[in-house]
A and B are shown apart, each in its own frame.
Chain A
Amino acid sequence: MDALTRIRYLTHHYQDLQGYRLLPFAVFFLVGTQYDYWAGYGYEQWKVDYDNTWLMTFGIGMIALGSIAVIASYLIGRWYEERYGYIAPHPDVPRAFPEQQWLILVSAPFIFGFLAGTHDVLCWVGLWIMYRQVKTSPAFVRHVPLAVLYILLVFTFPGIDSGAITYPEPGINHLVVKNLVAAFVLLVAALWNHHLLETLRAPSAVPSEEEA
């Protein structure tokens, strides 16, 4: 890769390359694995004695965890600014999704989930959208679509029993696997993107005018 291509790539994709910003979300999903064990156990108990205290605790726990992940990701963004610098992206550089596509992407899994009677697909699609969004949005904490997505994830993970979306009865194990996969994907993406940033930052200094 010649110097000009490297410079252009790094400048265009600087926000994408801030890989460590994904780490808090990997932790979020990893901890969610343990929560899912608990939630599944709670669901079994709930069916017997109709005590839904676990659901409230679980929901609050997930909201708190997610909030911590978003704040931590924002702080890591600040660290990148201190260490590697700050740019205002070019207005002509396209975002991952235009707003109208966002609406479809966020609403479609909800509809599908209601029709299918499962929330599992919501988690997968939500995870994918979140990954794309975090990678492309420079100030995602203030970005409304991510907030929508976050709420979607929070509501789908505990498996709110609304009458249409039901918690999968034997599904504790597959939820755990899903969370582990999600955490692993985010972890790999985080490390890879940061590695790419380190590789692309000025490997050899540009010669000064006197040397050229």
Chain B
Amino acid sequence: MKEPYRELANLDRTLHAPPRLAILSVLMACERADFTFLLTTTGLTKGNLASNLAVLEASGLVIIEKETRNERVRTTARLTGEGQAAIEEHWGQLERVRAQLFPAPAGSA
């Protein structure tokens, strides 16, 4: 098997599943986000979002917290240090695979 395809096959499924990749991409762009914002941005259903967040929390990539704001309990999620490193490494891995499979034409920036 060629190297890029091997790398593709070895991608971490915990991270690479589309719903989780979307959740992690949101959390990567902010300090923390609540459940409603994750629903707004990812378009997942409530059940799907909750189950995928549980997977990410169990993997130690995300911390889920309850906080009271404006007299309402709000569920927020944020990346752990491990989660931050993992998602950055994952995107780097995807970029490397893309560069190997679809190299930029000579002379292009």
Contacts and interface: CB of A to CB of B under 8 A. Distances in A.
Interface stretch (B3-11, B38-46, B56-64, B101-109): B38-46
B29 A7 contact: yes
Interface string A186-206: 000000000000000111111
B69 interface: yes
A11 interface: yes
A201 B40 contact: yes
A91 interface: yes
Interface residues of A, number: 30
B68 to A, nearest CB: 12
For the complex, would chain B's binding face be called helix, strand, loop or mixed by DSSP majority? helix
A83 B30 CA distance: 18
B17 A7 contact: no
Nearest to A8: B29
Contacts of A11: 26, 29-30, 33, 41
B29 A85 contact: no
A87 B76 CA distance: 8
A7 B18 contact: no
A84 B19 CA distance: 18
B43 A12 contact: no
A95 B30 CA distance: 14
A88 B30 contact: yes
B37 A87 contact: yes
Interface string A1-39: 001100110111010000000000000000000000000
19 contacts: A7-B29, A7-B42, A8-B29, A12-B29, A83-B36, A85-B34, A86-B34, A86-B37, A88-B31, A201-B41, A202-B42, A203-B43, A205-B45, A206-B42, A206-B43, A207-B18, A208-B18, A208-B44, A212-B18
Interface of B: 17-20, 22, 25-26, 28-45, 48, 52, 69-70, 74, 76
Interface of A: 3-4, 7-8, 10-12, 14, 78, 81-91, 201-209, 212
